[in-house]
Amino acid sequence: MDTSRDDIGIVIRSAFLKRGSQQRFSLFVLIIFSIILIYVETIKSKPFDYLRSFIKDTIYRGSVIVSSPAKGIKIFSNSFKAHMKVFEENSRLKEENKELKDKKYNNSFLIVENNELKKIIDEKKAASSNLVTARVILDKKSPYLNSFIIGSGGNKKIKNSMSVLDGLNFIGRIVNVNFFSSRILLITDLNSKIPVVIEPGGYNAILSGRGDNRPALDYLPKNHTLKSGNKVYTSGKEGIFKPGIPIGEVILSNSTPLVNLASDINQITFVNIDLGSENN
């Protein structure tokens, strides 16, 4: 009997009080209803037994129904928290993956740059001239202007008219020097005129820039017998540049012989300046 009463009391409180603090009137009604149920429990008769069973079943089912939303909310809340945890973990992994990719790209860039510098150092060791290496910081190109700005100047003893090399190949000359920067006039510029010699044959000519990557050979002898593939070097005339610096190969195109440069001007990151080639 006592256990049955306790069950009824617990179920009633669970069913009604789980919904939070209610008004005092609801609490009063609950108390009265509980007293009535306790009184009914003391009456011994079959009709009242059936009534008690019915009431208990109703209360139990009602308790389940009332508590279902709370359980559903709890399940939904736990599911949402788990989803957010997975989402946060996924975001963290994506960020870590991005950082690893960035490091990979940075490492690849540093490896390429390091290889370029090693190549330049090896070329400087192989050359007898006094070379200074500089990075190209600006690339000024248009149909009428082809020049580089490098990050070295008077601070590295660079002077006007010094020859500029890509590796060991001639690509231009210094035309303007500041303390920490210099401008290079490339051999492709319209204003570039370089004395050259073509071998074999020993023909002297002037290499004139045309604004593209194939400068022209001007002032050749009328009876020349140039062929595609003939080598073009600086001639050293006028004492401006050292003789024998490689420039490129002859290409016979229509009536004007052109030169296919040994270096790709569009792919240059570092240059060598020959300090021994200044114009005295």
Structure token pair of residue 88:
């946060």
Residue 280, pLDDT score: 40
* Secondary structure class of 244 (helix, strand, coil): coil
Residue type present at position 206: I
How far CA 175 is from CA of 70, 162, 183, in Å, comes to 83, 8, 6
CA distance 24 to 4: 26
Residue tagged 């290499």 (tokens): 207
CA distance 152 to 159: 11
Residue 264's CB: how many other CB atoms inside 10 A? Answer: 10
Contacts 24+ apart (CB under 8 A), 90-98: none
Per-residue pLDDT of the chain (280 residues; tens, 9 = 90+): 555 555 555 555 555 555 554 455 566 677 777 777 676 666 666 676 666 677 666 766 666 676 667 666 777 777 778 878 888 888 888 788 777 776 666 666 667 666 666 666 665 555 556 889 999 998 877 776 889 999 999 999 999 999 999 988 999 999 999 999 999 999 999 999 999 999 988 899 999 999 888 999 999 988 888 999 999 999 988 778 889 999 999 998 777 899 999 999 988 999 999 988 544 4
How far CA 230 is from CA of 129, 210, 255, in Å, comes to 25, 20, 16
Torsion of CA 29, 31, 36, 38, to 10 degrees: 160
Query: What are the phi and psi torsion angles at 154 (to 5°)?
Result: -60, -25
Beta-carbon contacts of residue 34 (< 8 Å; ≥ 6 apart): 8, 9, 12
Residue 21, pLDDT score: 47
Four-residue CA torsion sign, 85, 86, 89, 90? negative
Residue 279, pLDDT score: 46
Domains of the chain: 2-74 (no CATH), 131-277 (2.40.10.340)
Residue 98, pLDDT score: 75
Tell me whether the omega of the peptide bond preceding residue 69 falls within 30 degrees of 0, making it cis: no
Residue 5, pLDDT score: 53
Residue 85, pLDDT score: 82
Angle between helix axes 46-126 and 24-42 (nearest 10 degrees) is: 130
Cα angle vertex 264, ends 261, 269, to 5°? 135
Torsion of CA 259, 265, 271, 277, to 10 degrees: 30
Residue 182, pLDDT score: 93
Structure token pair of residue 61:
């089912």
Residue tagged 């290889």 (tokens): 115
CA distance 190 to 212: 9
